[in-house]
Structure 1
Amino acid sequence: MTTDIKLLGNIQNNNSFNNSANEELPAASEIFQWTKQWYPVAVVEYLDASRPHAMQLLGKDIVLWRDGSGQWRCFEDFCPHRLVPLSEGRVEADGTLLCAYHAWRFDAQGNCVNMPQSKDEQTAVRNCENQKFCAVVYPTQERQGLLWVWAEAGEKAQEESQLQTPRIVTELEDNLDRVEKSPWNFRDLPYGWDYFMENVCDPAHVPVSHHGIVGDRYKDSKYYDMIPVRHISTQDGFAFEIQPTQGNIVQAIHDFQPPCYMKITSTSKDGRQLILALYATPTRPGWCRHIGCQVFVKNSQGKKPQGLSFFGLPLPIWLVHVLASLFLHQDMVFLHYQEAIITQKRKGKWLDAVYTPNPQDKMVIALRRWLENRAGGGIPWAEAYNNDIPQAEKDKQKLFDVWTTHTQNCTVCQNALKNINRLTVLSYVAATVCLFVAVILDARTVAMQAVGASLFSLPPIGFWLALAAGILLAVLGYQLKRFSRLFYVYEFEHAHND
């Protein structure tokens, strides 16, 4: 009862939303089932098809790999023989996944098709037919460039997965002549699924946390209300509209579609729409994988909306990925610490730990209500994790890691980094050659002076051109080296973001 009173006190000036606080809770059979869902786990074009990829989903270790038919598969990441990770194995030329410990091979359906240490071929065939020696297979599908994994394994899971559609971006299926999208980006973030969703339910933080990229912390932190436009549903989430809007925007809606999709739609006066398609897949406690893009819906005159800051420009994919750190790292550190602080203070109740007097917090409260009342109170992590949130990282610099959380898993960025490193070396080599030529030309001038050709003659124009070129190439090499650091780490401090 105390929580209900506090909740009603936190949600002000909206009778319809206040009344929804007294709605009947769903029956146990209607509680949201986290494992009976599709989750986006990777962007297909960024995966290296020649090798297996380790990942986690709801705390389970999984391995992604592409078979001989070109289809991406997902197994639980262990070999049934001695339980070593299959992600440490190989994808063979015949399209099977080989365990690197004893060379057992598995086909796309998880069947063991080869046991090299068997006594004879008949014994190998007999053993391979035993279901005990099969890999654990999760349903997969590719939609809109993403690889989706169903979070349960087995024959029943295969059947159930066919009855449900992933939370795709519907605008990318319709009106293709009027719709464009930016490249997909992805990043493993050091805070949980619920804190990612809470963050994107809260547009009030944007001009403050993302000062200098999206808005100004001193000018754009203004009052607005959040009006529910789709009330809380166990399976379909909820949606809120921001009122009043600012500038050229006539409507702004945040639409949460469980388990992983937040759709933020801004509509301008002339009918253009900008959609931020934001996914968050729960990987393990305290971590999630974010995948997102911008969708541009043109108006009837074919005019395209302006994108989010410079991310709306037609940039190369690798540059979009690199520059994403400038945005993501602006709120990453304090969200990581926020999760640890609230875990310590709330003692089971989120509302007991926070103070939310303003209407801008309505959607955040709705998310926590949905999670508590309709989704079992939280994500059912694999047993090994025991629902424990890891301790906050004391060394803040480790949170700025880009290599582990993105680059090492993105072939586009790896190729771009290789090219930048080659260009860096080439710049230094060319600079050395130019400086060597300048020295030669200068030595020639000195020699001519020595024989009295001209007592006060300056080095020839070629010397100055070679010297200038050498300096410019050396500076270019240095700047390329500095820029390549963004593929590994990007540090950010709000105290220095004026």
Structure 2
Amino acid sequence: MLECRKILMEFHMVHTFKKACVAAYPSTLHHDIVWFWPNTDPQYKDIILKKQPPFIPELEDPSYTRTMGNRDIAYGYDVLVENLMDPAHVPYAHYGIMRTQTPKVKVDREGGRPVALSVKKLDINGFDGDQEWGISKFIAPCIFYAYTKPLENQGNGAASSAGTRKPSAQRKMALIFICIPVSPGNSRLIWVFPRNFGVWIDKVVPRWIFHVGQNLILDSDLYLLHVEERKIMDAGPANWQKACFVPTKSDALVVGFRRWLNKYAGGEVDWKGKYSGALPPTPPREQLMDRYWSHVVNCRSCNAAHKGLNALEVVLQVASLAFVGIVAATKQSVMSLAARNTMIAMAVVCFAGSKLLAHFIYKNFHYQDYNHAFR
């Protein structure tokens, strides 16, 4: 704790006021993210010198892109982590949004297929996973990190005598998710998708363009996971398997995470008495999937785009009124019929443009529903 020994507005005050004290947490800046140790006990004062946050090489390599995003999520940390670990749900929960590998024999509309996953070396620090396209790691308690096995770039580099490409020709990418418990039924996600190819795209395309699509993906199964969390809570976190059916190899990482959570964390987040653990009531769908307060206000790029597009909407409305006003105020003898018709057409175009822009702003920066049946 930091002791307030003197209040600046009172010259003769020498007593310590506990009500004026604030908690001081050990903290550090790592990978452009502020990390803190959630304990104010003096014994952890220098914990940062002994225990650093996890090191992820792609986030320190200048040859990789590392555009970040974040979102407040209306379901808990445990459901968030296991959802990000589960590739089998993608063709179904994100149908029509995310591209997936088409199976040789398509047995349903969505194109689901067997996915072989396995868990290795599970301990208190997390576990490693293996899958078709790469390697994944759960770095306890909050990081899920998956990276591809090197992809050969057929267009660059010369083959070595061993028949392999030079390292410079290897295309690599990673998926990094940092899942932060906030309160029962609420969490925060920070994501980064570094890659060492197509780096120029991130320098040209505004970050908010990427966030529009990424937020749509998060929204498409948000309500489902919000309900799932309540089903798991009804069964009890330690009995999660009674609420979920996970019989296939594609469920290996989810099962591995739940095993870790039950064995090393008691099956749920320890809120240290701050919360009872009860989930909050389910809000209206528009509030549950709201993007503005859960992302836009905290994202510099999206916030700037939101303000800029709103300003453009106002400009279009003013221009529409101005064109109408000019036509109404100008005598027919002064303005030709062609000019008058052009003014009216411009007013209609500006008005229609403002309405379309307003719809675009609301859909991409405030709320957009997802209906699987209509995809």
Q: Name the TM-score, length of structure 2 as normaliser.
A: 0.84
- State the partner residue of 1:396: 285
* Distance apart, 1:411 and its partner CA: 4.3
Distance 1:469 1:280, change over 3 A: same
1:138 is the counterpart of 2:25 = yes
Query: Residue type matched to 1:420 in 2?
Result: L
* Distance apart, 1:113 and its partner CA: 6.2
* Distance apart, 1:334 and its partner CA: 0.4
Name the Cα RMSD after superposition: 2.8
Separation of aligned partners in 1, 2:97 and 2:55: 28
- State the partner residue of 2:245: 355
Separation of aligned partners in 2, 1:133 and 1:291: 32
* Distance apart, 1:224 and its partner CA: 2.1
| 8 A Cα contact 2:184 2:278, kept in partner | yes
Distance 1:419 1:358, change over 3 A: same
* Distance apart, 1:359 and its partner CA: 1.0
Separation of aligned partners in 2, 1:165 and 1:290: 20
1:491 is the counterpart of 2:375 = no
| 8 A Cα contact 2:138 2:145, kept in partner | yes
The structure with more radius of gyration: 1
- State the partner residue of 1:283: 182
Query: Residue type matched to 1:495 in 2?
Result: A
Q: Deviations over 1:372-392 (max 9, x none)?
A: 11233221113031232334x
Aligned residue pairs, count? 350
Q: Deviations over 1:421-462 (max 9, x none)?
A: 222111111122223334456x515x99xxxxxxxxxx5332
- State the partner residue of 2:157: none
Separation of aligned partners in 1, 2:307 and 2:147: 37
1:233 is the counterpart of 2:233 = no
Distance 1:331 1:314, change over 3 A: farther
Match of 2:298 among 409, 421, 434: 409
Moved over 6 A (4+): none
Q: Deviations over 1:317-367 (max 9, x none)?
A: 333334432111011110000000121135731223322221111111111
* Distance apart, 1:140 and its partner CA: 1.9
- State the partner residue of 1:180: 65
Query: Residue type matched to 2:351 in 1?
Result: A
Alignment of 1:236-255 (within 5 A): 237-243=126-132, 251-255=133-137
- State the partner residue of 2:51: 164
Match of 2:347 among 450, 453, 470: 470
Separation of aligned partners in 2, 1:468 and 1:111: 68
Separation of aligned partners in 2, 1:280 and 1:460: 63
Runs of at least 5 residues in structure 2 that lack an aligned partner in the other structure: 101-107, 154-169
SS at match of 1:283: strand
Distance 1:422 1:221, change over 3 A: same
Q: Name the TM-score, length of structure 1 as normaliser.
A: 0.64
Separation of aligned partners in 2, 1:412 and 1:113: 41
* Distance apart, 1:252 and its partner CA: 2.2
* Distance apart, 1:225 and its partner CA: 1.0
Runs of at least 5 residues in structure 1 that lack an aligned partner in the other structure: 1-108, 244-250, 299-303, 449-458
Separation of aligned partners in 2, 1:410 and 1:214: 23
| 8 A Cα contact 1:232 1:366, kept in partner | yes
Q: Give identity over the alignment, percent.
A: 25
Distance 1:365 1:314, change over 3 A: farther
Separation of aligned partners in 1, 2:193 and 2:208: 16
Match of 2:15 among 122, 127, 145: 127
- State the partner residue of 1:340: 230
Match of 2:307 among 389, 413, 418: 418
Separation of aligned partners in 2, 1:293 and 1:373: 29
Separation of aligned partners in 2, 1:184 and 1:482: 26
